[in-house]
Structure 1
Amino acid sequence: MPLSDHAERTRITLYRHFAATGRALDTAGLAADTGQSMDEVRADLAELAAARHIVLAGEEVVLAHPFASRSFRFSVMGADTLWWGGCAWDAFAIPHLVPDAPSVLVATTCPACESAHAWTVTNERAPAGEQVAHFLVPAADIWPDAAHACENQQIFCDEGCVDAWLHRTGNTRGDVLSLTTLWNLAAHWYDGRLDSPYERRDPTRAAAYFREVGLRGPFWGLPDGA
């Protein structure tokens, strides 16, 4: 369902501020920038959260994918701006989305052994590296708790570290992606999000996108072998 005009105005104001500054606008800031009352902005934020454009904690915007207002273990440093990436997927997406940041330094630590990792991620090609991304939560289950799903989209040294982390945490193995597959996933997922109006992909379009970038199977909402 399309957003109301005022919720879309709040959404694009929030997203463009995140893109430009790396920070979220609070309710007062959004009210000032959109010319609405605080109560109107609160209603807009509730509409945006219900439509899965943002994740809220109270009135705080925690996630406006691919941007985050707190650490999810990924820093993304451009020439002039420092962002928090909401997850491995989001961190790799920022140089594709933000016009002034076609090349960024993405940094994180392995959740299993705490080894530090950093890559120059551009909008032209995937970074080199033997590290792997592990996605714990299947695509169809990311919502309603998208913050939990993002906290569990992490990059590990290798599959040995993935296995060690799964053993320690008691989690069930999800899907493991190479850095190239992660980059392909991130490259066009957020196309148009800094434009207005913007419409989220429905599940059918999302599944088609996953197939196009080489992801397969029920974890991504696709039949086995699709």
Structure 2
Amino acid sequence: MDAFDLDVRRHVYFSVVANGRPPSTTETSEDFGLPEPEIADAYRRLHDAHALVLFPDTTDVWMANPFCFGPAPHRVMARGREWTGTCAWDALGIPAAFHGDGRIESECACCGDPVALEVSDGELVRGAALLVHILLPARRWWEDIGFT
């Protein structure tokens, strides 16, 4: 990634924190004062570098890890807003990203039972005895990051 792509990525994350959602390429092009195709190319390069995840065949941001902007079973309350994590690991990453407290509500992938976790002062204070099972080794996550 070059400096421009890093600036675009930073802009996406700042927008997520400020607005609860990623900016469209149109919004980013307006903010940068650049043509939208140039911003769309940057989004695609960030996707190819695994720095953002785009919805298939679009330039719409699906994930700016640990944040997810599509349907996902992991709901996170942090910083006064509800967020979504793609997986349990990302859900735990949302309070960490804010260096704050958070509550995670999800369900067991095996049996469907409700699961609740709570983070306070950087510590998992509720649900610490639970295990997270990740089906694929990390080296294979990007084969289908939406599944992982």
TM-score of the superposition, structure 1-length normalised?
A: 0.60
Does residue 104 of the first structure (1) align with residue 139 of the second (2)? no
What residue in structure 1 maps to residue 16 of structure 2? 18
Two-structure CA RMSD over aligned residues (Å): 1.6
1:35 and 2:33 matched: yes
Which residue of 2 is the match for residue 62 of structure 1?
A: 62
Report the 3-state secondary structure (helix = DSSP H, G, I; strand = E; otherwise coil) of the residue aligned with 1:148.
Answer: coil
What runs of 5+ residues in structure 2 fail to find an aligned partner? none
Structure 1 runs, 4 residues or longer, greater than 3 Å off: none
The correspondence of residues 1-226 of structure 1 with structure 2, limited to 5 A, is: 3-57=1-55, 58-99=58-99, 102-129=100-127, 130-149=129-148
Q: Identity over aligned residues, as a percent? A: 27
The one-letter code matched in structure 2 to 1:121 is V
Secondary structure of 2:93 counterpart: helix
TM-score for the superposition, normalised by structure 2: 0.88
State whether residues 95 and 123 of structure 1, in contact with CA within 8 Å, keep that contact through their aligned partners in structure 2.
no
Q: Whose Rg is larger?
A: 1
Q: Are the equivalent residues in 1 in contact too, given 2:104–2:116 (CA < 8 A)?
A: yes
User: What is the Cα deviation at residue 68 of structure 1?
Assistant: 0.8
Q: Which has the higher strand share?
A: 2
CA drift at 1:79: 4.1
Consecutive unaligned residues of structure 1, counting only runs of 5 or more, are 150-226
Match of 1:147, SS state, is coil
Aligned residues: 145
Aligned partner letter, 1:28? T
AA aligned opposite 2:135: L
CA distance in 2 between counterparts of 1:34 and 1:105 reads: 35
For 1:69, the aligned partner's letter is F
Verify the 8 A CA contact 1:17 1:23 in the aligned structure 2: yes
Instruction: Say which SS state the counterpart of residue 147 (structure 2) adopts.
Output: helix
Q: Report the AA paired with residue 132 of structure 1.
A: L
